[in-house]
Amino acid sequence: MATIQESPNSASAPSPAPVRGKINYLTALKEAIDEEMGLNPDLLCMGEDIGLLGGAFGVTDGMAAKYGTHRVYDMPISEAAIVGVACGACLNGKSVMVEMQFIDFISCGFDQIVNMTATYHYRTAGEVSIPMVIRGPAGGYGGGALYHSQMNEAWFAHSPGLKVVCPSTPSDAKGLLKSALRDKNPVLFYEIKELYRRKDIEEFVPVGENSLVPLGKARIAQEGTDLTIVTYGQNVYHCLEAAKILQNEGFSAEVIDIRSLVPLDEETILTSLAKTNRLLCVNEAPMTCGFAGEILARMAEKAFHLLDAPPGRITRLDTPVPWVKPLELFVLPSVAKIAEAALRTVRF
Amino acid sequence: MLLQLYLARYFDVRLIKEKKRGRLKGTLYSSHNQEAILVGSLFGLKSTDWISPIHRDMPAFFLKDARKGWRNPDRIGMTIQEVCAQVWGKAGSPGRARDNWSHIGSKKNRIIHSTSMLAGTIPAAAGVVLADRLNGGDALCVTYNGEGSTAQGVFHEAINFASVHKLPVITIIENNEWAYGTPNELGYSLDDFARRADGYGIPGLIADGQNVLDVYDKVMQCVEHARAGNGPSIVECKSFRAYGHGDHDDDRAAKYRPTEEVEAGRSRDPIAIMKRIMVERGALSPEDATKFMAENKGAAETDNSDFPPEVVAYLTEGVEFAVASPVPPAEEGGMWVFAE
Ligand SMILES: Cc1ncc(C[n+]2csc(CCOP(=O)(O)OP(=O)(O)O)c2C)c(N)n1
Ligand SMILES: [Mg+2]
């Protein structure tokens, strides 16, 4: 039988390398888990193939050897039981990081997330809180086809009691994951698998407490004056590309990466709208009841008087994500679609 | 044990009467005729063990650790006041009446908070004892489930996981022959639900759910198995649902179930069986055995003189507390979505 060799000094806190280069999104996630596992002896990890193998993408590589199989659990292929067992462990004093092998499979654990875990604090009138993070690889543009490409964050933003987070940079991946692992509430953490090893977004990321990024604070990815584009996840990069096209046409776009859907930093969006008076929201998920629509609705309620043009949105078509490239790009938001909508808005 | 059987029965009877009197609203899920499962399975547990009861198990909340004495303040279980306040939807409920009926729990009392989702708390039971073991404890968890709930995917997922890690989770299957309006032959191609255990390589025992001593005996075998580090097990308790699924279903249940079946199912009243055994063993005199005749009667046919006075007094305290307790303020509906 395969066994995991535990390293001798397994309990010691991680020691940062003396000289640090730029790191990628995946390494940033790994560092976050490693640091928090080192700091919090009550933090456990549960997921499919996360121990011996180190995770399908390697996010938990080496964790079982370092922290032991009593803290890092290779779970049966049972998404509902993984979440439910984690919930029970949290009820009895632990914190748990749950890995979904692909975020698409989260639907198999849906009831345990939305009915069992999300409601625990509420239905016990505050007696119990469940410090659980459910994280996993999400998103399209990689030819993953229907069941390895989804962004299903709206299901959970629609379930009170859950926080929902989606980082787009290595710094945010690390900082938000660390904050999520310290949060008293269940947090759904959407990792963008196409960004895991993307070279051009590698950056210097701090070690330890300096790397923390609070949940519920948006990031201004680029400042601008003529249009506010609100987005998150992989679309941040599409929007930045579109902003260049706008610039060539003489317009300046502000790109806001909300980073956290629940809680949502409305303040940053409102402040931006007071300056630009125009709004475009972009998300990778389907249009109907998607989060771009939620932002539009809130801004229509709170900032109608600020708007000089009809607010718009670019989303996936209301279809599944097809496999082959031309079809996939046809349904997903693209730089061209975003730029076109943005120009329409600024020229209104 | 006999006194606890009376208490569980009286809880059921009294709530039905309170509803008839107009002092109580909401659906009641009767444990009438199934009380031996609760009393027998709880009796041998340690105070520090966990339980996970569901809709048919309301008395479990106040019977937990009741061997120490119902009124013992050191008992690790809910008081009758707390349970009644919950049934009445009052602020005195441990969950402040945010969800109804059996959907309460307590970390302090080691009772997992149930939801409506059948079998939905078995994974949490596994997680709770896993955490307990990591914390150096030896607590086990007894979960209660109807036989209908064994068809849920999560039932399988959770017990499979528990078997891998040899977690001390004892799954009680209350086989009362019916899942709401569906008889077992329409739900299963299986006579003995205990055989589900074979699929996980764990022991599956069958108990006579009408005989509290047999339930106790079989559960204690599983408790020893678990305490010795050998992991989970299943105990199927053969029983019969005496009335409707809930009291809203009493009239329809009288039609969808054949009279002979219902009469046969009700004929083995757990209180009567316990008394007979006690008389046979000389633990109860034949005269004392006829003092309180709660058995073989529906709620309407009993009155308080059919129950021991301490049972009536204890429950009355709970009911009066619940009636007097205020409804929580409306603003609480918006509270406790997130932990600060
Ligand atoms: C997941 C889920 N599906 C359906 C229901 C509705 N429901 C509540 S109780 C019940 C029957 C349960 O039968 P069984 O498990 O045998 O328990 P019993 O009521 O007989 O004690 C049903 C269908 C539910 N609560 N949860
Ligand atoms: Mg049943």
For residue A263, whether the previous peptide bond is cis, meaning omega lies within 30 degrees of 0, is yes
Of B99, B120, B124, the CB nearest to A91: B124
How distant is the Cα of A77 from the closest Cα of chain B, in angstroms?
8
A 10 A CB-CB count for A318 gives 12
Search chain A and give the residue with CA nearest B96. Answer: A125
| A316 CB-near residues (< 8 Å, 6+ apart) | A140, A151, A283, A284, A285, A286, A287, A290, A331, A332, A333
| B4 CB-near residues (< 8 Å, 6+ apart) | B39, B43, B63, B66
Task: Classify the phi-psi angles of B108: left when phi > 0, otherwise alpha if psi is within -120 to 50, otherwise beta.
Answer: alpha
Of B107, B116, B157, the CB nearest to A128: B107
Search chain A and give the residue with CA nearest B134. Answer: A70
Residue type at position B93: S
Q: How much is the pLDDT for B217?
A: 98
Q: Which residues line ligand 1 (CB under 6 A)?
A: B 56, 116-118, 146-149, 174, 176, 178-180, 241, 245
Question: What distance in Å separates the CA atoms of residue B15 and residue B22, rounded to the nearest whole number?
Answer: 11
Query: What pTM does this model have?
Result: 0.94
Atom of ligand 1 nearest to the CA of B116: 25
Judge whether A20-211 and A219-346 match in fold.
Answer: yes
For every residue of B259-280, DSSP letters joined together read: HHHHHHHHTS-HHHHHHHHHHH
Q: Whose CA is nearest to atom 18 of ligand 1?
A: B146
Domain, as residue range, for B116 = 2-334
Atom of ligand 1 nearest to the CA of B241: 20
CATH homologous superfamily of A20-211 equals: Thiamin diphosphate (ThDP)-binding fold, Pyr/PP domains (3.40.50.970)
Of A87, A111, A121, the CB nearest to B124: A87
pLDDT tens digits, chain B, 340 residues: what are they? 999 999 999 999 999 999 999 999 999 999 999 999 999 999 999 999 999 999 999 999 999 999 999 999 999 999 999 999 999 999 999 999 999 999 999 999 999 999 999 999 999 999 999 999 999 999 999 999 999 999 999 999 999 999 999 999 999 999 999 999 999 999 999 999 999 999 999 999 999 999 999 999 999 999 999 999 999 999 999 999 999 999 999 999 999 999 999 999 999 999 999 999 999 999 999 999 999 999 999 999 999 999 999 999 999 999 999 999 999 999 999 999 999 9
B contacts of A122 (beta carbons < 8 Å): 98, 336-337
Q: How much is the pLDDT for A19?
A: 72
**DSSP label of A197:** T
Flag whether B50 is in a domain: yes
How much is the ipTM here? 0.92
The sign one gets for the Cα dihedral A96, A97, A100, A104 is positive
B339/A83 CB distance under 8 A:
no
pLDDT tens digits, chain A, 348 residues: what are they? 567 776 655 445 555 555 789 999 999 999 999 999 999 999 999 999 999 999 999 999 999 999 999 999 999 999 999 999 999 999 999 999 999 999 999 999 999 999 999 999 999 999 999 999 999 999 999 999 999 999 999 999 999 999 999 999 999 999 999 999 999 999 999 999 999 999 999 999 999 999 999 999 999 999 999 999 999 999 999 999 999 999 999 999 999 999 999 999 999 999 999 999 999 999 999 999 999 999 999 999 999 999 999 999 999 999 999 999 999 999 999 999 999 999 999 999
How distant is the Cα of A71 from the closest Cα of chain B, in angstroms?
9
B106/A127 CB distance under 8 A:
yes
Residue B309's φ and ψ, nearest 5 degrees, are -60, -35
How many A from CA of B152 to the centre of ligand 1? 10
Chain A interface mutation, best of B135, B159, B338, highest count of A Cβ atoms under 10 Å: B338
Per the structure, the count of domains in chain B is 1
For every residue of B42-72, DSSP letters joined together read: HTT--TT-EEE--GGGTTHHHHTTGGG-TT-
CATH number of the structural domain spanning residue B319: 3.40.50.970
Q: How much is the pLDDT for A8?
A: 58
The best mutation among B31, B184, B236, B245 to test binding of ligand 1, ranked by most ligand atoms within 8 Å of the C-beta, falls on B245
Question: Per this entry, what is the length of chain B?
Answer: 340
Q: Where are the domains of chain A?
A: 20-211, 219-346
pLDDT digits (tens, 9 = 90+) for B153-169: 999 999 999 999 999 99
* A333's tokens: 């938001």
Flag whether B182 is in a domain: yes
Buried b or exposed e, range B57-79, using 16+ CB within 10 angstroms? bbbbbbbbbbbeebeeeebbbbb
Instruction: Report chain B's terminal Cα–Cα distance, integer Å.
Output: 44
Q: How much is the pLDDT for A20?
A: 85
Q: How much is the pLDDT for A142?
A: 96
B332/A125 CB distance under 8 A:
yes
Q: How much is the pLDDT for A184?
A: 98
Catalytic residues of A: 148
CB pairs under 8 A between A and B: 135
Question: What distance in Å separates the CA atoms of residue B15 and residue B300, rounded to the nearest whole number?
Answer: 11
**DSSP label of A130:** -
On whether the CB atoms of residues A63 and A50 are closer than 8 A, the answer is yes
Q: Residue written as tokens 């806190």?
A: A13
Atom of ligand 1 nearest to the CA of B149: 15
Flag whether B339 is in a domain: no
What is the CATH code of the structural domain delimited by A219-346?
A: 3.40.50.920
Q: How much is the pLDDT for A166?
A: 98
A122/B95 CB distance under 8 A:
no
Crossing angle (nearest 10°) for helices B212-227 and B270-280: 90
Of B99, B107, B131, the CB nearest to A123: B99
